[in-house]
Amino acid sequence: MIKTYLVTGGAGFIGSNFIQYILNKYKNDIFVINLDKLTYAGNLNNLKSVEKNKNYVFVKGDICDKKLVANLFKKYNIDYVVNFAAESHVDRSINSAEEFVTTNVYGTFNLLENAKKAWQTGEDCYKAGVKYLQVSTDEVYGALTEKESSFTEKTPICPHSPYSASKAGADMLVKSFYDTHKMPLNITRCSNNYGPYQFPEKLIPLMFIKCKNKQQLPVYGTGLNVRDWLYVTDHCSAIDLVLRKAKPGEIYNIGGNNEKNNLYIVNYIINYLSKHFDKTISPDLITFVKDRKGHDFRYSINSSKIQKELGWKPEVSFEKGIELTMNWYLKNDKWIKDVLDGSYKNKTT
Ligand code: NAD
Ligand code: DAU
């Protein structure tokens, strides 16, 4: 039986990788509807490889739009909802948080409500084989000191930024639809992703582009904040597994067991580009700038639950992942140029 996916935010970084991953894996056994508002972060150039695929359709729209989401459930026999759609950048949420609350909290509610209406067959009973998956983040757990142990699924939620607070709010709503209505769903909480198609406001693509152009590299504060980096296709494989195999109501942490501080990452990019692109690129480009407000010191994920219960493990080492990422950005000048000059916005189908 063909499985029909409603993927939201599929024109963004992880969503576009996920759509390519599942179409490649399941081929004619799936049909994918990509619902994306095309905010500044949505880029249809990310989906060129699938845009003519007969098992894929793009719908421009907002997850907060009640009528549109209801109509999608009427038009298609949706089995899976995978909600990537979000305002995702911490710095933007510090400058202005409204869109974060609207999309991340209300948008999630609207998807849940419509999925419940479409799927419920009786009290606490749902159509067979359906599932809602909320793509959440390790940032809902807050921050760790250098010595504290990694976040587990039992770590209390304690978000600090408006971004992570809005994601935590969404998680609570999703959980409530399981606790109250027994809706078949899961939540995944992943650490920092990197890889192709990441919008260059995030650390790795931002530093790559600036470094290649020999511009100053703005490192916040001391540069010693730690993130747990995971190559994006490893996140995709984990989501795929949770969607198809996990028991409803469960939450899974996903992480690369790969903690690095920001200075390590920036120096890695400098060394890579000086070796493979221009010998004169050097650490002199590093510039320490004012710290991010409320900057979380360290994230670290304990992903033993998904490893033990579902047999997931990350396949791509940090060295391999960075090489794949740097080579992708080096080969995709046009993608970068279109993002930087804004012409990616002209592509609407
Ligand atoms: P992104 O910012 O690259 O993409 C977000 C996508 O959502 C864009 O295509 C945008 O147009 C779309 N969108 C935004 N508001 C929308 C709305 N109201 N309706 C429909 N579409 C809308 O984000 P990303 O980095 O790909 O992250 C995807 C998801 O994964 C987010 O929920 C994020 O919280 C989560 N996450 C990200 C990371 C990471 O490292 N990037 C790690 C863990 C979890
Ligand atoms: O942990 C998962 C989260 O990872 C996701 O939920 C978010 O959507 C995603 O944006 C990411 O959040 P971060 O804030 O960790 O990612 P960002 O790339 O913005 O920053 C990574 C680290 O680098 C952080 O400590 C801040 C620092 N930084 C970032 C930028 C953009 C700098 O030092 N300079 C910069 O210019």
pLDDT digits (tens, 9 = 90+) for 296-326: 999 999 999 999 999 999 999 999 999 999 9
Cβ of residue 86 lying under 6 Å from some atom of ligand 1: yes
Top mutation candidate among 88, 109, 339 for ligand 1, by most atoms within 8 Å of CB: 88
Distance CA 241, CA 148 (A): 29
Cβ of residue 93 lying under 6 Å from some atom of ligand 2: no
User: Residues 205-209: what's their mean pLDDT?
Assistant: 98
163: annotated active-site residue: yes
Which distant-in-sequence residues (6+ apart) come within 8 Å of 3 by Cβ?
Answer: 26, 29, 30, 31, 79, 80, 129
* pLDDT confidence bin for 218, thresholds 50/70/90: very high
* pLDDT confidence bin for 221, thresholds 50/70/90: very high
User: What pLDDT score does 163 carry?
Assistant: 98
User: What pLDDT score does 113 carry?
Assistant: 98
User: What pLDDT score does 108 carry?
Assistant: 99
Cβ of residue 61 lying under 6 Å from some atom of ligand 2: no
Tell me what the pLDDT averaged over the chain comes to.
98
* pLDDT confidence bin for 201, thresholds 50/70/90: very high
User: What pLDDT score does 106 carry?
Assistant: 98
- CATH 3.90.1150.10 is the classification of domain 3-199+229-257+297-317: no
User: Residues 280-290: what's their mean pLDDT?
Assistant: 97
User: Residues 63-92: what's their mean pLDDT?
Assistant: 98
Which residue's CA lies nearest to atom 19 of ligand 2? 202
Q: Where do the structural domains in the chain lie, given as residue ranges?
A: 3-199+229-257+297-317
Q: Terminal CA-to-CA distance of the chain, rounded, Å?
A: 28
Over pLDDT 90: what percentage of the chain?
A: 99
Among the listed residues 81, 73, 62, the one whose alpha carbon sits nearest the alpha carbon of residue 183: 81
- How far, in Å, from the CA of 202 to the mean position of ligand 2? 6
User: Residues 211-225: what's their mean pLDDT?
Assistant: 98
User: What pLDDT score does 129 carry?
Assistant: 97
User: What pLDDT score does 300 carry?
Assistant: 98
Which residue's CA lies nearest to atom 34 of ligand 2? 219
* pLDDT confidence bin for 124, thresholds 50/70/90: very high
- How far, in Å, from the CA of 266 to the mean position of ligand 1? 23
User: What pLDDT score does 291 carry?
Assistant: 98
87: annotated active-site residue: no
User: What pLDDT score does 191 carry?
Assistant: 98
C-alpha count within 13 angstroms, C-beta hemisphere, residue 251: 24
Distance CA 225, CA 138 (A): 15
Choose the catalytic residue: 5, 163, 272, 344: 163
User: What pLDDT score does 154 carry?
Assistant: 98
